[in-house]
Amino acid sequence: MFTTRMESDINGSRLILENPEMNNVGYKSRMLIENHITGFLECNIVYAEGKENYVYDTTSKTSLRNIYEHGEMNHKMLYVLIENIICGMESAGEYLLPVEHLILDPEYIFVENNTGRIFWCYYPGSYNTLKEGMNELAEYILGKADHKEDAAIELAYGFYKQVVNEDYTLRKLLLRHEGLTEPVIADDRDGKKTENILIEDDRELYPPDEEDAPVIPRSGKVIIMICLSVILLLSGMVLAAAVYKNSSLSKLLTLNEMRIFICMTESMAMLLPMLITVKWINSTRKFKQLLMEADKNDDADLYRQVYFGRDG
């Protein structure tokens, strides 16, 4: 189990996670610190006494548990939280990160104070399964739903029911709960009531531009290069046996086990690059659609829509 501590100074606040048994978790750490992943807390790794400390920027953010320690979540807050659970899982999948390391404990789910945006803590040293994490979060949500609001209870129970049945296709649940109008009210640390402006889609606040175009991650490029190298090596071996009539090599290639091994290896070596390329093509297509949608909107109108919810 990992240990946690919070630090604050004039430069901001930080959440620090440390697991004495974890070191060098490979591509997951690199993907986390080298990319700006939508909805994830910014992370750096600090090495101290031979251990990896994961440092997350929590400046101007408050944990969900602290915000609702003595309060209840209304329908809109529940809707936005569930929507962000979906976005967090999709962001993890987009960067080939296992969703099991997405910490779903409300203590590590952070809400930005001035916008209400939700941020997730992704930690490769966590060991909960997706089922365990989702079940605990569903129980928390069910207990924190505003019992005076029927829509909130219905949404919380619907979420709980799907999670218990291990049905994580949550978008169909949200489709039945559209048309939200209630503002989200949260308690500040000094006890005052503040109204958070919740932005349900980051694309409304940050319109895409050409520099945000999706690229194949570094780990994906490494996989492609390895697969191509394997294909060339095996193909070269078969070709060499045919051209130079090497008796030892030819005899080796006549073995059924060797033929099966070569077929399976080359099939996998061709399939992995194809899957990575298809995923990149789909992401690029979606990005181009977002660019076209952004071009249709005037920046001033977009600003008024996001911050004021009106035309002027």
pLDDT at 252: 63
Looking at the DSSP assignment, which residues form a beta bridge with residue 40?
Answer: 120
78-116: buried (b, 16+ CB within 10 Å) or exposed (e) per residue?
bbbbbbbbebbbebbeebebebbbbbbbbebbbbbbebb
Q: How confident is the model at residue 218 (pLDDT cuts 50, 70, 90)?
A: confident
Of all helices (H) and strands (E), which one includes residue 191?
none
**Contact call for residues 308 and 183 (beta carbons, < 8 A):** no
Average pLDDT, the chain: 77
pLDDT value for 109? 95
Confidence check: pLDDT of 193 > 60: no
* pTM confidence score: 0.56
Mean pLDDT, range 76-81, rounded to an integer: 90
**For strand 118-119 and strand 110-112, is the pairing parallel, antiparallel, or unpaired?**
antiparallel
Higher per-residue pLDDT: 172 or 58: 58
In terms of Cβ atoms closer than 10 Å to its own Cβ (0-12, 13-18, 19+), residue 292 is exposed
**pLDDT value at 194 more than 50:** no
142-168 residue pLDDT tens: 999 998 888 889 999 989 988 888 888
Q: Which of 40-54, 148-162, 183-197 has the lowest mean pLDDT?
A: 183-197
**CA distance linking residue 302 with residue 147, whole number of Å:** 35
Average pLDDT for 226-230: 85
80 pLDDT more than 80: yes
pLDDT for 198: 42
Can you give the pLDDT at residue 85?
A: 92
- Give the range among 102-111, 124-133, 244-253 with minimum mean pLDDT: 244-253
The per-residue pLDDT for range 282-303, each reduced to its tens digit, is: 777 776 776 666 555 544 344 3
At residue 266, the pLDDT reads 79
pLDDT of res. 118: 93
Residues near 142 by beta carbon (within 8 Å), at least 6 away in sequence: 156, 157, 159, 160
Q: Please report the pLDDT score of residue 45 as a whole number.
A: 87
Of 20 and 188, the structure prediction assigns the larger pLDDT to: 20
C-alpha closest to that of 125 among 40, 27, 5, 29: 29
Q: What is the pLDDT of residue 243?
A: 66
Residue 248 has pLDDT above 70, yes or no: no
pLDDT band at 64 (very low <50, low <70, confident <90, very high): very high
Give the model's pLDDT for residue 24.
53
Q: Could you tell me which residue, 253 or 30, shows the higher pLDDT? A: 30
Contact yes or no for 241/250 (Cβ under 8 A): yes
pLDDT the model gives residue 63: 94
pLDDT at 253: 64
